[in-house]
Amino acid sequence: MAPQTLQITVIGSVWAAFALAEMLQGRFLARESTREDVRLEIAVTLMFPLISVGVLSTSGALCDWLMPSQRNALADWPWWQMLLVLLLADDLTQYWWHRLSHTSVMWPLHRAHHSAGYMSVRLVYRNNAFYYALMPGIWLSGALLFLGFGWVYVVYSIVKVTVIIGAHSAIRWDQWLYRTPWLSPLAWVLERTISTPATHFAHHALRQDDGIGHYAGNYGNLLFIWDMLFGTARITRRYPPAFGLEDDLRHGPESWLTQFVYPLRRSRRADTTLGTGPHSPPA
């Protein structure tokens, strides 16, 4: 099986398994979901594969043009060295990209990910189109594929996306670790190593004054180690009671198209945080 085929098959299967589990628990079609949410998520589902493949392909083509003799130049590296480079070039850069997306300049490209009033696998790729088109980690990954990271990148991406899917899923798989005393040491290590539902749900919380919500932190995608290292971690082992943006509660949901293609389409609301800054603190 070709590497890309295996990658798509496994990641699609993992997403489908979590989605099915959410459906069986009645959480996939959340009651908080609006028509704008559904339209946005359909658009993202259709466009993300095109954007990501387009960026990877363009990055590889640029490498082929600028340094053709370097194709597969690093293919003989041991897998652990490739993994270390991927963690730095992809996951660490995505941590900073995500963190910068909570500043006033970048917020409009990330707002769509936080505007949902629920947590679900539906949110995994829910972002503005330009959020991914400009993401440094995808461009660097394209260059590393050109240099010969092939199968190591496939395995790495499968593990990473599995962790991200699990961190967004309404299943809350980490809950049983917290409820089982003899698994406490494992839970302690995992929640400080990778993103989990408890730590990532806190990042999506509606309110920030309850000791749980933490949108100014818990930015990690695969590794939570970055949050521990850079002082942005909050671990409570609790889950926020509500999700979404105060801005939308006050003024109604933002248009799905505006969230998806801003700044090509500006907000038509009288009051909006699009183009002005991150979500405001609770009233």
Confidence bin at 190 (pLDDT 50/70/90): very high
Enumerate the H helices of the chain as residue ranges.
3-24, 35-66, 79-86, 93-100, 111-114, 129-133, 136-146, 150-168, 175-179, 184-190, 197-203, 225-230, 246-251, 256-261
Q: How much of the chain, in percent, has pLDDT values that exceed 70?
A: 95
The pLDDT tens digits of the residues spanning 211-256 come to: 999 999 999 999 999 999 999 999 999 999 999 999 888 888 889 9
Range with the poorest average pLDDT among 78-82, 104-108, 199-203, 268-272: 268-272
Residue 178 CB contacts under 8 Å (≥ 6 apart), including other chains: 184, 187, 198, 237
The pLDDT tens digits of the residues spanning 95-137 come to: 999 999 999 889 999 999 999 999 999 999 999 999 999 999 9
48 within 8 A of 265, measured Cβ to Cβ = no
Exposure string for 173-195, b = 16+ CB within 10 A, e = fewer: ebeebbeeeeeeeebeebbbebb
What is the radius of gyration, based on Cα positions, of the chain? 19
User: What single-letter amino acid sits at 74?
Assistant: L
- What is the model's pLDDT at position 1? 67
243 within 8 A of 116, measured Cβ to Cβ = yes
- Give the Cα-Cα-Cα angle 217, 233, 84 (nearest 5 degrees): 100
Site of tokens 């996306």:
161
Give the C-alpha separation, 22 to 108, whole Å: 29
